[in-house]
Structure 1
Amino acid sequence: MHTQAKPTGALAGLRVIDLTQMLAGPFCTQILADHGADVIKVEAMTGDGTRVTGPFCADDTLRAFGGYFQSVNRNKRSIAVDLKAGEGRAILRGLIDNADIVVENFRAGVMERLGLAYETLRETNPRLVYGTVRGFGDPRSGESPYAQWPAYDVVSQAMGGMMGITGPDRDTPTKIGPGVGDTIPALMLCIGILAAVNRVHETGQGQFVDVAMTDAVLAMCERIVYQTSYTGDVPAPEGNRHPLLCPFGLFRARDGRVSIACATDAFWEKLAIAIGRPDMATDAAFATNAARVERQQQVIDAIEAFTTVRTKEEIAAVLGGKVPFGPVYTSAEIFEDPHYQAREMLVEVEQPGSATPVKIAGVPIKLSETPGAVRQRAPLLGEHTREILQAAGYAMHDIDRLRNSGIVR
């Protein structure tokens, strides 16, 4: 089981003040923490709102946090501060003055009202990289008419174009299962922050990094932009098919679905032979991708004549390693697959309040010399308040006074 250890990794030495909550911001700062950054999660006195979101272990009587919070806040330290109090804001200002990065996902204007705008902070910390992720971005980069609209994953998926090309048919736009409307912007923000940090090393000057959730989703849906620009067509949901490639999608198996993606004619030839249809590999009506797109249903019918009478495991025995192929997994199947064990993608951590460790998703970015790692579970609320304030120069009696007066927890 992974426990507290001295941070290592490619980002060791960077200090991050994390003012984020929910999913997008915490997911970004967790990536930094996984790779060695010292991430100090500054929480309200009541904590990040996701602490009370389940699921919880059946024997967890403490309920300090559930699976949601555990999954996106590992490797961080927590300090709880009352930012409504002047002394609380002064504590935060001092932490930021000694940090490399600050990340927040409040609505535009909140930090300004606290007297902690980027322009103010950089006066005393010119090297500061200030990262934000909001539904429609920060006015500094271009003021959206929706700048003050609150947004969650489902909103950015909808307005960024992702739902508009996802679903079983043209009339049924569909939400993608995971919170990609949050996690994609988080990844974009992480890239922007690290680009800005690199620039600091060259110039000594920090900068403001702004990611709008809707912008990030649109960027990931890049195909719809060029399709409309080049042809005037407006893409719509097309089920489990691809408008430009065939075969490329999901196919029925006896016990579920499998994915097959033949983006080249060479792969198609191998697939046709494997499913017992070598005639379709050489027939001009199917030999090229353009021809197969025109006769998409015939191609799908030929493949499903092979797949529907076999299990996912039986299909894998025939197609695995020959063409781009993968079964559609449930989470239970992921837990059993040796790939995820070998890649350390199911990591066991302590769950406070429970006698049983839990598993969370591991670190997907593998670095050969400075690997990231899950070093510790998500923090309890204010678990590190005392050590953070001591390191910032506060005397023990001052820390006790701050706690007794409700400024920190």
Structure 2
Amino acid sequence: MAGRALDGVRVIDLTQALSGPFCTSLLADQGADVVKIESPRGDMLRHTGPFGEDDTARVYGGVFGNANRNKRSVVLDLKVPEARDALLRLIDEADVLVENFSNGVMERLGLGYDELAARNPRLVYTSIRGFGDARGGASPYAHWPAFDIVAQAMGGLMSITGQDADHRVRVGSGIGDTVPAIFAAFGTVTALLEARVSGKGQYVDVAMVDAVLAVSEVVVNTYSHTRTAPEPIGNQLRGFAPFDVVPAQDGEVTLGAPHNPQWAKLCTVMGRPELITDERFDTDDKRWINREPLYEIVTAWTSSHTVAELIELLGGIVPLGPIFTAEDIFADPHFAAREMLPTVEQPGTGRDIEVTGVVPKLSRTPGDVRHRAPLLGEHTVEVLRAAGLDEAALTALETAGGTVIQEGVLS
């Protein structure tokens, strides 16, 4: 069996909620040994649903399970000196540390970058915070806590999302967490590659609002060129037409044919070849300027067909797609062929559940979802023994309140 791209990389995961765990799950999917350090009460996300009706144990919900697959869990109360010492032993042999505590917390615990880099100079130290760390630029909001909705709002995405300027909305998924996580994983792997050459680690600083801004290209591109702030325009994209959700007899589909080659193909299928050279619509810019009469023509045609008919007529010819619900996605052959819904055991239910699959498909060293998320402290004994702690040291650590030895317990 082929190896994985990050086999042999040890990651100490000091994260909770979604942004940090999602970042480290991407590393774990590619083979990194991710050791998740949790307090005795566990990651706050363990207690968040969804839970199946048959899940009476409720050791963790769907969001935690998806973001923490392929990891091992160790319980350490870092306020206890013995636990901090055990963590330092793990860090000394690690390649990466990822954390998403509020500014200053790691320093107060004696686990700041400067202290750890002095112990382990090759350590890549990645942090994800709402407004970043001073090392990457001192934000006036550095002390503000942040959630996904704050990142979406202050990163500009909410300013362009919604039906109009009076109805701005948050994007439905937690991309204010997951997009920063993707940037953090990219930065971490980039720093790891450089460390293989230089032998030195470095600090990787990701601000959630920065990451959201980076994918809100409409905000930057429009304002930088025109000094006007773009506003929400529903499902359209400024400067592109047709590019929208359009009606069918029995539902809706998404349609994009904003450039001349696509527009010509659409006109041909509609049986309206004269529109290709119509002076109102013969350039990309004119189609946007004259979008109201354009959409009247296009939607009158799409409304005369069912969704299935539109897929048959336009699928593979111009960009078009139905709006899939979760039920549709779970039944669609694309996601099965791409292994985007692998299953893992859900503790306490006796059944397997689907999680999201690995997106980048590496041909020689493919990543994979190998096992479920860990129970709280499931691997404490295993990991700490491997780090050199004997039975007496483990007992002393537990007696001091630095850990809870509950390996394999569904509670």
- Range into which the TM-score falls when normalised by the shorter chain: over 0.9
Question: Across the two proteins, how many residue pairs are aligned to each other?
Answer: 404
Structural mapping, 1:4-403, within 5 Å: 8-403=3-398
Q: Distance in 2 between matches of 1:301 and 1:41?
A: 55
| Letter of the 1:94 counterpart | R
Q: Distance in 1 between matches of 2:77 and 2:12?
A: 15
Instruction: Report how far residue 306 of structure 1 moved.
Output: 2.2
Q: Distance in 2 between matches of 1:271 and 1:51?
A: 49
Instruction: Report how far residue 140 of structure 1 moved.
Output: 1.8
Instruction: Report how far residue 264 of structure 1 moved.
Output: 1.8
Q: Distance in 2 between matches of 1:400 and 1:339?
A: 51
Q: Per the alignment, do residues 85 and 7 of structure 1 end up closer, same or farther by CA in structure 2, a change over 3 Å counting?
A: farther
**Could you say what secondary structure the match of 2:342 adopts?**
strand
Does structure 1 conserve the Cα–Cα contact (< 8 Å) formed by 2:2 and 2:366? no
Does structure 2 conserve the Cα–Cα contact (< 8 Å) formed by 1:108 and 1:139? no
TM-score (norm 2): 0.96
Q: Distance in 2 between matches of 1:106 and 1:295?
A: 50
Does structure 2 conserve the Cα–Cα contact (< 8 Å) formed by 1:334 and 1:340? yes
Deviates more, 1:244-253 or 1:344-353: 244-253
Instruction: Report how far residue 398 of structure 1 moved.
Output: 2.3
Does structure 2 conserve the Cα–Cα contact (< 8 Å) formed by 1:78 and 1:383? yes
Instruction: Report how far residue 259 of structure 1 moved.
Output: 1.3
Deviates more, 1:178-187 or 1:241-250: 241-250
Deviates more, 1:359-368 or 1:226-235: 226-235
Instruction: Report how far residue 141 of structure 1 moved.
Output: 1.6
Q: What value does the CA root-mean-square deviation take over the aligned residues? A: 1.4
The gaps in structure 2 that reach 5 residues or longer are 405-411
Deviates more, 1:171-180 or 1:269-278: 269-278
Instruction: Report how far residue 211 of structure 1 moved.
Output: 0.6
Deviates more, 1:30-39 or 1:282-291: 282-291
**Could you say what secondary structure the match of 1:259 adopts?**
strand
Offset from partner CA, 1:180-220 (integer Å, 9 cap, x none): 11111111111111111111011011100001000111111
4+ aligned runs moved over 3 Å, structure 1: none
| Letter of the 1:11 counterpart | L
Instruction: Report how far residue 317 of structure 1 moved.
Output: 0.9
Q: In the alignment, which residue of structure 2 is the partner of 1:3?
A: none
Q: Distance in 2 between matches of 1:265 and 1:295?
A: 15
